[in-house]
Chains A and B, each alone.
Chain A
């Protein structure tokens, strides 16, 4: 299998998922944000836009920080899942 969907890629990974979302987004600007780079720049497809709302599927996040930097309004804050939760790379 040479190429895979992003969901298949993420399913390879090991996560200890924490119960709470570690990505804090102030969504006030999202509706007027034309490009929404968080959606297409995120390497884990964490963000999607449904019914005029930014949906955050934080379970597959690898905590890279891209979203924080590409958000034109700087409204995304990536905190880290506590106590070793989140992505656990076995290769890296």
Chain B
């Protein structure tokens, strides 16, 4: 029997892999989309929301068809200290109107829906397949293996590694080193079921409207933060912390999550929520400098596997999708040329370099290091802001002039003005690109 060979084998049916499988299948390539979960999404977890772009490029009417929970109209920020919070929100009602802007959705539902689209387009979706190794022919990657023996081999002209943050395939292909604790964060999350009416009145939302909350100052100075997203009739509450800092802190991630849930300003928001699921996942945090080499002979890396995430605006799924588009385009070109070497696949990198993803990550390239090396950002400043606010708003007969002196003294004690100045310059740098 002749050895079967696919045009492309995509490993991982998350947003990146499915996007590339979908586009390649539509272009007539033979595609195997392999997923190690019981169904696409069974192994996946994230904070809670996807942006409309660039998904709308691939599925223009996805807002009607995708299993969407709520449309985000309100982005809230909470800078918390022990028993107070300096909170602000950006609410835009046009976000509640088509074409909308961002959506909450649950990955077990979304990824399954999305992968079914790739299947309808002609990709062969095989679930419960755990790829263990790449198959090489000399220096060229020619397939994947999911166990021992020839019965567990699958051949393809191109392998697309969409196997997530902790990508084993990118490492095997020699494109990256194993992730280091300073390059990756751990996210933990709980789903709390809550009546949709309660969610809408508690968060001041209309029907189908949702809120995304980011909380700073809840990680004991570790780089990271808490989040709450509203789903249809549940809340996603969790937090993300850099592994390097978690190792040093010796705090257990689930204890930190419980502490966040018990915070006096958070507890009322989640009260009555019935826990339904507890999940954990890695998040690449290294930004532009953490992006590995993106291709080699017969293989391309996409999505989280290529560390394409930006934590400041919670971007991940959109970047994964965009990278999936370009990898598919490169694969289609390679098929046309009949050349699957890195020579042709470099087209993927070229497309990505002139894309939103790469340009944005390049602009923000210094952020991860600034965040990582600045513990002040995640505990001292949140405390200070809350202290300043408390002093300014509490009425005890003390003149504001006296209070100002106290504030200045406190800043000097906790940070020092030279450091504060430096941090301000850095902050200016972040927002003035």
B-binding residues in A (CB < 8 A): 1-4, 6, 8-10, 12-13, 16, 35, 37, 40-41, 43-45, 62-66, 68-70, 74, 78-84, 86-92
Interface residue SS majority, chain B: mixed
**Per-position binary interface string of chain B over residues 96-137, scored 1 when its CB falls under 8 Å from any chain A CB and 0 otherwise:** 000000000011110100000000000000011010100000
Interface residue B262 (Cβ < 8 Å from any Cβ of A): yes
CA A64 – CA B279 in complex, angstroms? Answer: 9
Can you spell out 20 A-B residue pairs with CB atoms less than 8 angstroms apart?
A2-B262, A4-B275, A6-B254, A9-B254, A13-B279, A37-B247, A40-B250, A43-B186, A63-B43, A64-B281, A66-B243, A68-B166, A69-B166, A69-B178, A80-B130, A81-B130, A84-B127, A90-B276, A91-B279, A92-B42
A-binding residues in B (CB < 8 A): 36-39, 41-46, 106-109, 111, 127-128, 130, 132, 147, 165-166, 178-181, 184, 186, 188, 190-191, 234, 236, 243, 246-247, 250-254, 258, 261-262, 267, 270-271, 275-282
Residues of B within 8 A of A80 (CB): 36, 130
Residues of A within 8 A of B43 (CB): 63, 86-87, 89
Within the complex, which residue of A35, A44, A69, A89 is in contact with B107, where a contact is CB–CB below 8 Å? A89
Closest to A1 in B: B275
Once A13-B277, A68-B166, A92-B44 are accepted as A-B contacts, the answer to whether A43 and B107 lie under 8 Å apart by CB is no
| A9-B278, A92-B44 given; 4 more Cβ-contact pairs under 8 Å | A84-B36, A89-B43, A92-B108, A92-B109
Closest to A4 in B: B275
CA A92 – CA B109 in complex, angstroms? Answer: 8
Residues of A within 8 A of B179 (CB): 65, 69
